[in-house]
Amino acid sequence: MTPGGSTPELRIVEDATCTFCGCVCDDINLHVRGEQIEKAERACVLGKSWFLNHDRDERPDCLIEGRPASVSDGIERAARILAEARYPLVYGLSDTTSESQRVAVSIADWIGGLVDTTTSVCHGPSGMAFQGVGEVTASLGEIRNRGDLIVFWGSNPAESHPRHFTKYSLMPKGLFVPNGRSDRTCVIVDVRRTKSAKAADLFFQIKPRKDFEALWILRALVQGIAVDESLAERETGVPLARWQDLADRMKAARFGVIFFGMGLTMTRGKHANSEAVLALTRDLNQFTRFVCKPNRGHGNVTGADNVVAWRTGYPFGVNLARGFPRFNPGEYTAADVLARREADAAMIVASDPLANFSQPAREHLRSIPYVVLDPKETPTTRAATVAFTVATYGIHVAGTVYRMDDVPIPLRPAYASSHPSDYDILKGIESRVRQLASQRA
Ligand code: SF4
């Protein structure tokens, strides 16, 4: 109801963008009445829950030490915390626009701090592997139009990215796969029979923590190198004949794709696993066209990698304390810096490290002054020195996000929020830390 008592008119926001997962579906029609999204046409179950659960939020725009404060006071306090710290950390960034990410990296630069994103706890090993091996890549549009052998390795899109199969990878009819699903072969490799396995033509259940061995067996077979039959089965749990069949199918594909997930990147081997899958893809290009893509989770985690890489040359875990970027995962990644009790202040953007970091990291974060910008109330916002409640990207705020294939997509928000955008607050903090930095110089 409007203040006058009448029911607001129904508006349709066409081709809105869902930022819940890395598929970043940009074909959602939102039915909006006032400040309520009533329907999200074409969204999957996760997307619907994302769009339909944004009720009016009455929390103050800013809390300083748990007490309501003005946004300008919050910006002043935040800027001082960051500018006066000796080793400040900027972390999170995967659930906001690329415009905001850019400003957050600038703040890290001005304060001589460290910038890290949630990539360091999901596809960080892939970021390292891309630097070591390179990436043979394609857009999801190319995959939709050309892919005829689709492999999912350590990834369960049926549950994590529900429209992946139908919009991009398995079901769509494409220019060179006119019969859609029947023109494609789907292979799933995982340590357990996930919901996605039901979609597979060929399912490979490998032993846990044996992805590296399985990928190197495939690399050998693709190159025609003999592999010991009993060793292959003992190591991977899958008979050599099945690996040989897969290697042959990969070489015979017209356009093959491997999508890999955290079941590969965060199990034993980590970046060595990612390097193995990228190297296998590179090897396959001696025979046919083959590409490889990580299945990314958060709505704009790919944007975070892109923005941090444009600004610093590295995708995450970057130290700017010496006035030039240094990259060293493990040394400059947020979870490690906090667990070693090194950071003495932090700014967290749209992330909840108090819910998912190790206990030593969580304990240290609680012991230092930190600023948080988040649309949601979380354990991290509740313990913050300065907490800003901000508008939600894609629902209230326009901007740009990057789909998991590095394609930038514009946001078409549904309605304005009573809360400020994180972009405006970050710009305010950036301006103030610059002033403080120039006063110190
Ligand atoms: S697949 Fe992902 S981006 Fe697409 S509607 Fe579902 S949650 Fe949103």
Distance 163 CA to ligand 1 centre (A): 6
What is the per-residue burial (b if ≥16 Cβ within 10 Å, else e) of 385-413? bbbbbbbbbbbbbebbbbbbbbeebebeb
61 CA distance to ligand 1 middle (Å): 28
How far is ligand 1, taken at its centre, from the CA of residue 170, in Å? 16
Residue 54 pLDDT grade (very low, low, confident, very high; cuts 50, 70, 90):
confident
pLDDT of 1 > 60? The answer is: no
Q: Which of 52-56, 114-118, 196-200, 327-331 has the lowest mean pLDDT?
A: 52-56
Averaged over 424-428, what is the pLDDT?
98
What distance in Å separates the CA atoms of residue 379 and residue 160, rounded to the nearest whole number? 24
Q: Residue 287: what pLDDT?
A: 98
- Quick one: which atom of ligand 1 is closest to the CA of 23? 3
pLDDT tens digits, 261-280: 988 988 887 888 999 999 99
- The two tokens of residue 394 are 């894609």
Cα 21 to averaged position of ligand 1 atoms, centre (Å): 6
Residue 233 near residue 210 (C-beta atoms within 8 A): no
What rounded mean pLDDT belongs to the chain? 95
pLDDT band at 303 (very low <50, low <70, confident <90, very high): very high
CA distance linking residue 102 with residue 225, whole number of Å: 47
What is residue 177's predicted lDDT score, i.e. its pLDDT?
98
Residue 126 has pLDDT above 90, yes or no: no
Residue 226 exposed, middle or buried by CB count within 10 Å (0-12, 13-18, 19+): exposed
pLDDT of residue 57: 84
Residue of minimum CA distance from atom 1 in ligand 1: 163
- Say if residue 207's pLDDT is above 60: yes
Q: Per-residue confidence at 437, pLDDT binned at 50, 70, 90? A: confident
> Taking the CB of residue 247, how many other CB atoms lie within 10 A of it?
22
User: Which residues neighbour 195 within 8 Å (Cβ) at sequence distance 6 or greater?
Assistant: 156, 158, 159
* Residue 4 banded pLDDT, cuts 50, 70, 90: low
Question: Residue 70's pLDDT band (boundaries 50, 70, 90)?
Answer: very high
Cβ-based neighbours of 430, under 8 Å, separated by 6 or more: 103, 106, 107, 110
Query: What does the pLDDT average to over 15-36?
Result: 96
Determine the Cα–Cα distance for residues 10 and 57; give it in Å rounded to an integer. Answer: 21
Per-residue pLDDT of 160-182, as tens digits, reads 999 999 999 999 999 999 999 99
283-291 mean pLDDT: 98
Residue 7 is predicted with a pLDDT of 85
Tell how far the Cα of 73 is from the centroid of ligand 1, in angstroms: 37
Model confidence at 10: pLDDT above 90: yes
Atom of ligand 1 nearest to the CA of 43: 5
Whether residue 3 has pLDDT greater than 70:
no
Phi/psi region, residue 399 (left: phi>0; alpha: psi -120 to 50; beta: rest), is left
Atom number, ligand 1, closest to the C-alpha of residue 28: 5
Looking from the CA of residue 24, the nearest atom of ligand 1 is: 3
Q: Amino acid identity, residue 21?
A: C
- 15, 25, 401: which to mutate for ligand 1, most atoms within 8 A of CB? 25
**What confidence score (pLDDT) does residue 191 get?**
96
* Residue with CA nearest ligand 1 atom 4: 25
- Could you give the CA distance from residue 157 to residue 19 in angstroms, rounded to a whole number? 16
Tell me which of 2 and 156 has the higher pLDDT: 156
Indicate the helix (H) or strand (E) that contains 386. strand 386-389
- CA distances 6 to 1, 3, 33, 434, Å, are 5, 8, 11, 48
Work out the angle between the directed axes of helices 422-440 and 71-84 (0-180°, nearest 10): 50
Q: How many CB atoms lie within 10 A of CB 106?
A: 19
pLDDT value of residue 152: 97
CA 65 to each of CA 330, 363, 386, 407, 423: distance values in angstroms, whole numbers, following the listed order: 31, 17, 6, 40, 22
Q: Percent of the chain at pLDDT above 90?
A: 88
Determine the distance separating the centroid of ligand 1 and the alpha carbon of 165, expressed in angstroms: 11
Whole-number pLDDT of residue 121? 84
Nearest CA owner, ligand 1 atom 2: 21
> What is the C-alpha end-to-end distance of the chain, expressed in Å?
54
- The CA 402 to ligand 1 mean position distance, Å, reads 14
pLDDT score of 201 more than 80: yes
> For ligand 1, what atom is nearest to the CA of residue 21?
2
The mean per-residue pLDDT over the stretch 205-219 comes to 96
pLDDT band at 431 (very low <50, low <70, confident <90, very high): very high
Query: From ligand 1's centre to the CA of 17, what distance in Å?
Result: 9
Is 342 a residue whose pLDDT tops 90? Answer: yes
Q: What is the pLDDT of residue 86?
A: 96
